[in-house]
Amino acid sequence: MLKVGVVGCGYWGPNLIRNFTQLESSEVPICADLAKKRLDHMKRLYPHIETTREYKDILSRDDIEAVAVATPPQTHFRIGMEALEAGKHLFLEKPMAVSSAECEQLIESSEKLKLTLMVGHTFVYTAAVNKVKELITAGELGDIHYISTERVNLGLFQEDINVVWDLAPHDVSILNYILESTPDSVSAHGHSYIRKKVEDVAFLTFKYPKSIMAHIHVSWLNPNKIRSTTVVGSKKMLVYDDVSSLEKIRIYDKGVTVLPHYDTFGEFQLSYRFGDIFIPKLDDSEPLKVATQHFIDCVRKNLTPRSSGIDGLNVVRVIEAATQSLRNSGSMVSLNPA
């Protein structure tokens, strides 16, 4: 039984507590948050859990083997480093930290102390994203031409980070995972409509290896909640709609073929294919449940997490580069993988 202390009981922390509590192989003896009313709420839900306003109370307990951190991103590095130095395995919510330098220090510390470091890129634990990855890897879609994603809604406006840092890590982690690579370069355009100097809408363009182009649109200022990814290949096309409850993935047997022979000089002929639409059956397990169980397995079996510190670092490097591009009128910024 892995005893996990949870730091942060705001938006996401309660979900971590629920999953680690429900799993047979883990329990949450204690949680921490600065807000008393949040702790009171956790106490009503889980009377057996000890609550504290000081996260160091968790780190000082010998019975706590792992710590899950779901606090504001600016605090991830400080709390994460202290947890590792206290000998605790670490589950860090996304983004892993607010700079690549901080990420590198966390990785170095976890490796030196031989502790598990996992980043909460929850989407790589969804059945839908893994089906997309499976189809791409198997060549079912052919050569990938481009991928376009949209993650927009009305709110929630953040005070400490812009929309790129808030929403784009989800899509960057998905792209890196399904393509098994990191972008060579990124450019970003955005604007602050509601709060000065805090972008609430942004458009990011990436160049991945093998001439794959990707585009991400993120916004807190949209009337609809959209979570959509379109993958266009040389054989087939795919749309992944995370908002849909029944048809999360639709595979289209559609495409365009350049005919090998032309009737006249200079004539360019195309053949359009309009085939069937296939909707694969997907497992409906809660992604966070899969992720938390995976974390436990990694701790117990000394495995490398699917969303490791290196993966978290690569995502932060992309977001840093996108931020640099935003500040330089959308200029292209080159990247090097971790």
The one-letter amino acid at 276 = D
What are the C-alpha distances in Å from 249 to residues 153, 159, 229, 252? 21, 34, 9, 10
Other C-beta atoms closer than 10 Å to the C-beta of 165 total: 23
- Tokens at residue 53, please? 């306003």
Say if 306 falls within a structural domain: no
Nearest CA to 237 among 312, 143, 331, 126?
A: 143
Instruction: With a cut of 60, say whether residue 29 has pLDDT above it.
Output: yes
Q: What angle do CA 97, 102, 103 make, to 5 degrees?
A: 65
| pLDDT at position 337 | 65
Examine the domain organization and report whether 105 and 134 are in the same domain: no
Instruction: Assess whether 90 and 188 both reside in one domain.
Output: no
pLDDT digits (tens, 9 = 90+) for 138-179: 999 999 999 999 999 999 998 889 999 999 999 999 999 999
Give 12's DSSP letter: S
Question: Which residues does 274 contact at the CB level (< 8 Å), separation at least 6?
Answer: 254
293 within some domain = no
Question: Does 52 have pLDDT greater than 80?
Answer: yes
Mean pLDDT of 254-271: 65
Label the pairing between strands 2-7 and 26-32: parallel
Greater model confidence, 336 or 179: 179
CATH number of the domain residue 228 falls in: 3.30.360.10
State mean pLDDT over 179-205: 97
State whether 198 and 103 are in the same domain.
no
Q: Summarize the confidence of residues 248-274 as an average pLDDT.
A: 74
Question: Per-residue pLDDT tens for 294-312?
Answer: 999 999 999 999 999 999 9
Helices 73-85 and 100-112: crossing angle in degrees, nearest 10, is 20
Helix (H) or strand (E) holding 224: strand 221-233
Backbone angle region of 223, left / alpha / beta, with phi > 0 → left and psi within -120 to 50 → alpha: alpha
Distance of CA 141 to the CA centre of its chain: 23
C-alpha closest to that of 89 among 67, 71, 113? 67
**Does any domain span residue 296?**
no
247 and 177 part of one domain? yes
* Residue range(s) defining the domain that contains residue 174: 127-285+317-334
Average pLDDT estimate for 67-78: 98
Number of domains in the chain: 2
- The stretch 49-74 carries a mean pLDDT of 98
Q: What pLDDT does residue 263 have?
A: 58
Q: What is the pLDDT of residue 159?
A: 83
For residues 101-106, give the mean pLDDT: 99
Q: How far apart are CA 154 and CA 160, in angstroms?
A: 17
For position 28, which CATH number holds?
A: 3.40.50.720
- Predicted local confidence at residue 274, as pLDDT: 83
In angstroms, how far is CA 217 from the centroid of its own chain? 15
Residue 283 has pLDDT above 80, yes or no: yes
Is 46 contained in some domain? yes
> What is the reported pTM?
0.93
Does residue 264 belong to any structural domain of this protein? yes
Structural tokens at position 93? 């919510």
Q: Which of 88, 115, 142 is the last residue of a domain?
A: 115
The pLDDT of residue 275? 82
Q: Determine the Cα–Cα distance for residues 290 and 115; give it in Å rounded to an integer.
A: 20
